[in-house]
Amino acid sequence: MLFSELGLSAELLRATDKQGYQQATPIQQQAIPLILDGRDLLAGAQTGTGKTAGFTLPLLQRLQNTEQQGSRRVRALILVPTRELAAQVAESVRDYGRYLPFSSAVIFGGVSINPQISKLRRGVDIVIATPGRLLDHMQRGSIRLDGVETLVLDEADRMLDMGFIRDIRKVLNALPPRRQTLLFSATFSKDIKQLANDLLDAPKEIQIARQNSTLEQISQVVHPVDRSRKRELLSHMIATGNWRQVLVFTRTKHLANRLSQQLEQDGLSATAIHGNKSQGARTRALADFKKGDIRVLVATDIAARGLDIDQLPHVVNFELPNVAEDYIHRIGRTGRAGLEGEAVSLVCVDEKKLLSDIERLQKRNIEKIIIPGFEPDQSIKAEPIRNGGNKQSSRGSRNSGGRNNSGRNSAGRNAPSQARHGRRQGQRSRRAA
């Protein structure tokens, strides 16, 4: 289906055409008419399926249809879990709204709050925000939300995982009760369903692709290897395969830093991105990676749902994530917009349980290929996986490796777990955003 068949305005069709898009994706085909009709929506879609445009385009059109001359109120609020995702959603709002008179502001932590305050005081129509920084503005009185007509929760499951539920409810208390609410989530846990029941009014529910399924165009392979030889194998694959753009995931910030330095020593241009980096450093690293100035970007799970990189060919799990769902979000950075991608996992004996969890989630086995010269030593025994706080987990899953993403609560905890841990983790995650 073409965008021109979805009832969008001439200005929005002109913007989509300038972006090079004429054909709507399945999530866009289903979501746009419902949002234009004013319905509340609970939408599930895999990463890379075009869901940002799926809510941005109709949101802009609804603002256009009810344009209020001289209004200085915030009329639309988009909540997202991470700084990177906030910046990318803001870019989409600017791109699709380029021929419309609406102003927008993106607000998140890690940067000075003063320029954000100045922009908000001048008046904006659309705010894209992380919950923690939004609460800061609310407490300072630099933003009012009583005029919000549309609320979007993007990556809602990720926000619950990060302990944002209390912040979200504080924001909700500042919103008018009559509004349109759109909840987008990659997974539909019990907690997401409960949140939807609390927030949405007679919502329409759409689900694109099987829940937690990986995109068909992503090829997956596991290379068994000893933990001490992972870096050597990674350098070997990048060099012999002449990989020019590789996104590599680790569980911890410390390893991300160390690995990027080791890859540099191997003659590969590399840098790390994680929550301990300043926002400026993170933005520069991502920009250099997109331009091709950096060959390898080593990231913690802070990047798993926030990076939108056109035609990214390779994602490598240097370490498997502690929770299987995060594997889906990691490898979803490749194979976007219908293009093919490759997801490679370097798996040592310690990670067999994590691999089993991933295969169980996907209901499929992943092909295992041993690289000649890197055969695993069968005499090596499995060791407990340590997290950032050096606590051990003999199970090697939920509670291990959790302190990634700015050194705060792991994005990998599932929703039932966040219900137990969210209260004490929430403050730390708010600072991370």
Report how far apart, in Å, the C-alpha atoms of 39 and of each of 128, 150, 151 are.
Answer: 21, 10, 12
Regarding whether 109 and 153 lie in a shared domain, the answer is yes
Regarding whether 191 and 146 lie in a shared domain, the answer is yes
Task: Tell me the residue range of the domain where 73 lies.
Answer: 3-208
| Tens digit of each residue's pLDDT (9 = 90 or more) over 282-333 | 888 888 988 889 999 999 887 655 666 767 889 999 999 998 888 888 888 8
Residue 137: phi and psi, rounded to 5, are -65, -40
Pick the last residue of a domain from 181, 208, 235.
208
User: Secondary structure of the chain: what % helix, strand, coil (to 5)?
Assistant: 40, 15, 40
- Domain contains 161: yes
| Tens digit of each residue's pLDDT (9 = 90 or more) over 1-30 | 899 999 999 999 999 999 888 889 889 999
pLDDT at 214 exceeding the cut of 70: no
Looking at the chain, the whole-number percentage of residues with pLDDT higher than 90 is 57
* Distance of alpha carbon 340 from alpha carbon 48, whole angstroms: 12
Q: What is the DSSP letter of 45?
A: E
| Tens digit of each residue's pLDDT (9 = 90 or more) over 101-134 | 999 999 998 889 999 999 999 999 999 999 999 9
* Distance of alpha carbon 96 from alpha carbon 90, whole angstroms: 10
pLDDT at 45 exceeding the cut of 60: yes
pLDDT at 367 exceeding the cut of 90: yes
- Domain contains 411: no
pLDDT averaged over the chain? 84
CA 315, 326, 187, 200 torsion-angle sign: negative
Q: Which residue, among 38, 161, 229, has the nearest Cα to 426 in the 3D structure?
A: 161
Q: What is the DSSP letter of 236?
A: H
419 CB neighbour count, 10 Å cutoff: 17
Residue-wise burial string across 10-23, b where 16 or more C-beta atoms lie within 10 A, e elsewhere: ebbbebbeeeebee
| CATH code: domain of residue 169 | 3.40.50.300
* Distance of alpha carbon 13 from alpha carbon 98, whole angstroms: 11
Residues in the chain: 433
More reliable by pLDDT, 417 or 196: 196
More reliable by pLDDT, 198 or 78: 78
Regarding whether 302 and 256 lie in a shared domain, the answer is yes
The dihedral region occupied by 203, where left means phi > 0, alpha psi between -120 and 50, and beta the remainder, is beta
Is the CB of residue 320 less than 8 Å from the CB of residue 327? yes
Regarding whether 193 and 255 lie in a shared domain, the answer is no
Mean per-residue pLDDT for 408-423? 36
More reliable by pLDDT, 221 or 48: 221
Number of independent structural domains in the chain: 2
Regarding whether 309 and 260 lie in a shared domain, the answer is yes
Pick the last residue of a domain from 208, 228, 251.
208
* Distance of alpha carbon 75 from alpha carbon 191, whole angstroms: 27
Mean per-residue pLDDT for 143-161? 91
Regarding whether 202 and 224 lie in a shared domain, the answer is no
Residue 328: phi and psi, rounded to 5, are -60, -45
- Domain contains 29: yes
**267 — pLDDT class (breaks 50, 70, 90):** very high
* pLDDT for residue 67: 72
What interhelical angle do 131-140 and 114-122 show, nearest 10? Answer: 70
pLDDT at 178 exceeding the cut of 50: yes
Regarding whether 244 and 96 lie in a shared domain, the answer is no
What is the dihedral angle through the alpha carbons of 203, 330, 406, 167, rounded to the nearest 10 degrees?
0
pLDDT at 70 exceeding the cut of 70: no
* Distance of alpha carbon 299 from alpha carbon 281, whole angstroms: 13
- Domain contains 422: no
Range picked from 59-73, 209-223, 400-414 for highest mean pLDDT: 59-73
Across 84-88, 167-171, 266-270, least confident range: 84-88
Regarding whether 298 and 276 lie in a shared domain, the answer is yes
- Domain contains 425: no
**Element at 195 (helix H, strand E):** helix 190-199
* pLDDT for residue 425: 42
- Domain contains 136: yes
CA 201 to chain CA centroid, Å, is 26
Give 262-304 as a 3 state SS string. HHHHCCCCEEEECCCCCHHHHHHHHHHHHHCCCCEEEECHHHC
392 CB neighbour count, 10 Å cutoff: 13
Regarding whether 306 and 249 lie in a shared domain, the answer is yes
Report how far apart, in Å, the C-alpha atoms of 415 and of each of 157, 159, 422 are.
Answer: 7, 10, 9
Q: What is the DSSP letter of 374?
A: -
**Residue labelled with tokens 């050597």:** 232
What is the dihedral angle through the alpha carbons of 389, 391, 396, 397, rounded to the nearest 10 degrees?
-60
pLDDT at 167 exceeding the cut of 70: yes
* pLDDT for residue 263: 96
- Domain contains 358: yes
Regarding whether 223 and 194 lie in a shared domain, the answer is no
Regarding whether 387 and 286 lie in a shared domain, the answer is yes
pLDDT at 416 exceeding the cut of 60: no
Regarding whether 102 and 49 lie in a shared domain, the answer is yes
Pick the last residue of a domain from 208, 229, 246.
208
pLDDT at 356 exceeding the cut of 60: yes
- Domain contains 419: no
Query: What DSSP string runs through 129-160?
Result: E-HHHHHHHHHHTS---TT--EEEETTHHHHH
**Element at 430 (helix H, strand E):** helix 415-432
Mean per-residue pLDDT for 127-154? 95
Work out the widest C-alpha separation in the chain, in whole angstroms.
Answer: 73
pLDDT at 421 exceeding the cut of 50: no
**385 — pLDDT class (breaks 50, 70, 90):** confident
